Amino acid sequence: MQKKIIKLSVSILKIFLFITVLLFLSRDFLINNLAFFPTKELKVLPNFTYLSEVSVKTNDGVKLYGYKFSHEKKTKKVLIFFHGNAGNGSDRIAQANESYKMGVDVILV
């Protein structure tokens, strides 16, 4: 009986190790294809007078694009809104606009 338990335990451990190695080796595929869904297609921007497109060039030469929601009167409150791992900034205009309505300038990246 004890030998059967040991054999079963070893079999379960082998299966666990196989699955662990398989997931480790396929992690890049899983991350790039199942967890990260950026899109390049921009949605049509609403015609808000306080909304403008902005860009900045990083030290390594990459140009980052975003949107700025600015109040006419200067405010000390600024929210930097990162759109996350799916879509792009234009998909989050409505959410950023809600923060703007609360009296906060918003930079949507």
Strands (DSSP E) found in the chain: 37-38, 51-57, 63-69, 78-81, 86-87, 105-108
For 27-82, the pLDDT digits (tens) are 887 777 776 666 677 777 788 888 888 999 999 999 988 889 999 888 889 999 98
Do 71 and 50 meet the contact criterion of CB atoms below 8 Å apart? Answer: yes
Tell me, yes or no, if the pTM score tops 0.75: no
Q: Is 93 exposed, middle or buried (0-12, 13-18, 19+ CB in 10 A)?
A: buried
Domain ranges across the chain: 2-35, 38-108
Q: How far is CA 76 from CA 99, 103, 105, 106, in A?
A: 14, 10, 8, 11
For 67-104, the pLDDT digits (tens) are 899 998 888 899 999 887 777 778 888 889 999 999 99
